[in-house]
Amino acid sequence: MIIQLEKNITEQQFSRLQEKLRAINYKSVKVSTQFSDYIIGVGKKEFDIRAIGTMEGISDIHRVSDAYKLVSRKWKVKQTQIDLGDDVKIGDGAFQIMAGPCSIESEEQIQSTINHLVKNGLRIMRGGVYKPRSSPYSFRGLGIEGLKLWHKYAQEAGLKIITEVMMTEQIDDMIDYVDIFQVGARNAQNFNLLDALGKVDKPVMLKRGISGTIDELLQAAEYIFSNGNERIMLCERGIRSYEKAYRNTLDINAIPILKEKTHLPVIVDPSHGIGVRKFVDSVALAGVMAGADAVIMEVHECPEKAFSDGQQTLDYEQSGTLIERLNKTVAFRKEIGLC
Ligand code: PEP
Ligand code: MN
C-alpha cells in the first residue's frame, strides 16, 4: 500500500495515520523524495483503504501488493518524464538519442565526438570514465580527470553527460560533472550503490543485470526511489542466454512489458544488446518500434581503434544514418498510433 502525504500534513495527523496502521498490523516506512512524501504500508490484513484515504493529511492512497511499489504503474499511471534542463527531456513522448564512445579516451576524441553529435542534433553524450572490464588488464577509464575535461567541452557545446558510476565513493566527486548517472549491468543489484544514488538529486539510468529478470530490475529501481530519488530510467541492454552467435540477447519483449509495469522511461541499448556493429541499426529500430523512450548507442570516429567495445561501435557515417532512421521511426510510430 502506498499513501501519499499532503505537503503540509501536521504532526498530529501523521501520528493518527501511524496509529491506524499499527492497529491493522501494518509495518510502515516513510519515503521522502525530491517531489513528495509517502508512507509504504506492508501487511497482510484486508481492510477498506477508504478508511485511511479519507483521513486528514493524506493526498492519495493505493493498494500495490507487488514487491516494487513506487515505480509501479499501479501507483502512477501517467508516464514519468525526466527533465535534464535546457529543454532536454526523456519519456512521456519526449524521445532522445544518447551517443558516444564506450570509453572516454582523449581530449581529441571528446572534441571529435561532440562535433559529430552536435552536427546530428543530439543533446546527450555517453561515455565511460570508470570502466567495468572483464579483464583487469584492459583499459579501465580516465577517471575523474577525464570526466572534468569532458564536462568542460560538453558544457560549451550544450550537451548533457551520461556516464557510469561504479562505486558509492565516486558519487561526490562526479556529481557536479554528470547529468545522468549510469548504473552498469554488473552493478544492477549493488544495493549500497542504489541506496546512495537514491540520496542524490540527479537522474539515474539503471541497466538490467547480465542475468537479471524484469522483476529484479524493477526492485532495483525501487531501491533508488525509496531512498528519495524519483528521477530514474531503466535500460534494456541484453541478457545472457545460451545463444553464442552474438554478445548478448537483447530482450525486445522487456520493452513493452516494462512500459506496462512501470511509469519510468525505458531506454534501449542496441550496442551491448547485440554486440555486433552491423546489426546495431536493426536492433535499435526494433527497440524504438517496441516503445523505447530513448536509445543509447556507442559511436567512435574510428571504431577499430576504440579502447573498448569497438566491435559493436558505429562510425560517424553509420551513426548519422541511424540517427536519421531513428527519427523517422519515431515519427512513424506516432503516425500509426503507437506511443
Ligand atoms: C557501457 O555502457 O559501456 C557498459 C559497460 O554497459 P553494460 O553495463 O550494459 O555492460
Ligand atoms: Mn561499452
Q: DSSP labels for 151-205?
A: HHHHHHHT-EEEEE--SGGGHHHHGGG-SEEEEPGGGTT-HHHHHHHTTSSS-EE
Q: Classify residue 310 by its DSSP letter.
A: G
Q: Would the pLDDT of 337 be above 80?
A: yes
Q: Would the pLDDT of 128 be above 80?
A: yes
Residue nearest to atom 9 of ligand 1 (CA): 185
**Which atom of ligand 1 is the closest one to the Cα of 296?**
2
Out of 124, 189, 269, 280, mutate this one to test ligand 1's pocket (max ligand atoms within 8 Å of CB): namely 269
> Which residues lie across from 100 on neighbouring strands?
298
Encode pLDDT of 18-61 as tens digits: 999 999 999 999 999 999 999 999 998 888 899 999 999 999 99
Ligand 1 neighbour 132 (Cβ under 6 A): yes
Residue nearest to atom 2 of ligand 1 (CA): 102
Q: Would the pLDDT of 334 be above 90?
A: yes
Residue nearest to atom 4 of ligand 1 (CA): 184
pLDDT band at residue 256 under the 50/70/90 scheme: very high
- Distance between CA atoms of 75 and 85, rounded to whole angstroms? 26
Encode pLDDT of 67-121 as tens digits: 999 999 999 999 999 999 999 999 999 999 999 999 999 999 999 999 999 999 9
Q: Which domains does the chain have, with CATH numbers?
A: 2-62 (3.30.70.1140), 82-335 (3.20.20.70)
Q: Would the pLDDT of 211 be above 90?
A: yes
What are the residues whose beta carbon lies below 5 Å from ligand 2 (ion)?
Answer: 102, 309
Encode pLDDT of 278-330 as tens digits: 999 999 999 999 999 999 999 999 999 999 999 999 999 999 999 999 999 99
Question: Can you give the pLDDT at residue 46?
Answer: 82
Residue nearest to atom 3 of ligand 1 (CA): 102
Encode pLDDT of 91-106 as tens digits: 999 999 999 999 999 9
Q: Would the pLDDT of 339 be above 80?
A: no
Burial of 14 by CB count in 10 Å (0-12 exposed, 13-18 middle, 19+ buried)? middle
Whose atoms come closest to the Cα of 308: which ligand?
2
Greater confidence, 44 or 175? Answer: 175
pTM of the model: 0.97
Cα of 291 from ligand 2 centre, angstroms? 23
Question: Can you give the pLDDT at residue 285?
Answer: 98
Cα of 142 from ligand 2 centre, angstroms? 15
Residue 14 dihedral angles phi and psi, to the nearest 5°: -65, -40
Tell me the CA end-to-end span of the chain in Å, nearest whole number: 29
Span 224-239, average pLDDT: 98
Residue nearest to atom 1 of ligand 1 (CA): 102
